[in-house]
Structure 1
Amino acid sequence: MQDKPRLIEVAFPLRQASLASVHEKNVRHGHISTLHIWPARRPLAACRAALLATLLPDPGDPEKRKALLEKIGGSVVKEQVEKKDADGKIISEEKEGLEGGVLAWGRENDPPMDEFRAMIRGFYGDKAPKVMDPFAGGGAIPLEAMRLGCDVTASDLNPVAWFILKCTLDYPRRFAGKQWHLPAFVKEWPDFVE
């Protein structure tokens, strides 16, 4: 790893991270927010943007920096959205959306993420950088760090947060694809309950 300024020290795709985070609040399927209610849950898009900008070096050249920021956050585009108001009239609103980038929900496994993983590993001497979050809470930062290929350590003093971290970060990785048979006494429960 070289001692170069990080991208976050010079620039950050704030508007794109904000737009992606607002959209993410409406996602209900497959999001970690559906695992357990957590009072201060961080948006995954904002965590992904912050981690990418922290782990990647600043290119130095303004044009390369702009291209990197666009690769992370995409472009902000204006869209016409039609919806019905309370009286049943169709009204048209102009909303901002994202085009491209890796911050929007559902893009965490897109090909640009593989490129970012390779860039990060290349910058850190072909090793996974270490990311530690001692007060990880709902687990958004460590989850995004794992998606970027980092070696992650996460903990929390709160036992509920610790268990959420185990269910979000550890158990899916350890038990994915394995089948577990129900014990015999569980199979007998319906007979016992009747």
Structure 2
Amino acid sequence: MGKGSEPVLMTDEAVAAEPVRKRKLIEVALPLEAINRESAREKSIRHGHPSTLHLWWARRPLAAARAVLFAQLVDDPSSRPDEFPTEELQRKERDRLHALIERLVVWENIRDEKLLAQAHAEILKSTNGNPPPILDPFAGGGTIPLEAQRLGLEAHASDLNPVAVLINKALIEIPPKFRDQPPVFPGLAESEIRDWNGAEGLAADVRAYGPGCATKPSGESATCIRKPRCPMDRKRLSLPGSGLER
């Protein structure tokens, strides 16, 4: 409102037309004990955990990210008084959603397709079938976009660190391209009569091609240049997308 201008009053019709923001589950309550327990337990898990892909110093717990993403998108029952008109009904529905989260955060359930489909259905119900895409502009170790993808959401990630970019490509960009595809290693797909679900075909290719790539490079082929004012050799680092070399 500018100086000397009259205040603009909204009519009753305009106020009624304003959409009422629904409170999300995360704004009311979360099963924090279960989330904290499973997040702490992840530190001792190695087999199949993204932390074994590459070291990242600020990696977030997968269980916590999964729970928070779900609770950010799912309505709290108090936001749907037509379905849950009393506090008792709202409490029962909230307890049901909390029980679902408690199952979601358990590491052994990350491949439970029925459970993940149930969680995705709850998200669709609260977003009118059109959940928002999830963007993490500084994705780091890839926890948030990975868990968004696990919940059936469209995930996007970026980072300035080329190591983080490579981690996210390996976690959320490459596997979906080969989802439900058979392996391409010669004769491997024909050797087994089966369906290749999820990333099983890609995993089989990694196991088949991996031994040939197991030898660590010596580093002798690394490109080095001598800095004019410094006698030390420096490795050349190209920053993707910047057009700069350091």
Give TM class, smaller chain: 0.7 to 0.9
Alignment of 1:81-160 (within 5 A): 101-110=103-112, 111-160=114-163
1:37 is aligned to 2:55: yes
Amino acid at match of 1:71: L
- Cα distance, 1:113 vs structure 2: 1.9
> Is the 1:133–1:155 Cα contact (8 Å) retained in structure 2?
yes
> Is the 1:117–1:148 Cα contact (8 Å) retained in structure 2?
yes
Number of residue equivalences: 156
- Cα distance, 1:67 vs structure 2: 2.1
Higher relative contact order (CA 8 A, sep 6+): 1
Question: Residue 4 of structure 1 aligns to a residue in which SS?
Answer: coil
Q: Give CA-to-partner distance per residue, 1:53-78, whole Å, 9 cap, x none.
A: 111110121222122112211xxxxx
Amino acid at match of 1:179: V
Question: Residue 104 of structure 2 aligns to a residue in which SS?
Answer: coil
In structure 2, distance between residues paired with 1:126 and 1:57:
13
User: Structure 2: which 5+ residue stretches go unaligned?
Assistant: 1-18, 79-89, 187-211, 213-246
Counterpart among 171, 174, 178 of residue 171 in structure 1: 174
Identity of aligned residues (%): 45
- Cα distance, 1:13 vs structure 2: 1.6
Q: Which protein is richer in strand relative to its size?
A: 1
User: Structure 1: which 5+ residue stretches go unaligned?
Assistant: 74-100, 182-186, 188-194
Give the TM-score taking structure 2 as reference length: 0.59
Task: Please give the root-mean-square deviation of Cα atoms over the aligned residues, in Å.
Answer: 2.1
> Runs of 4+ in structure 1 displaced over 3 angstroms?
175-178
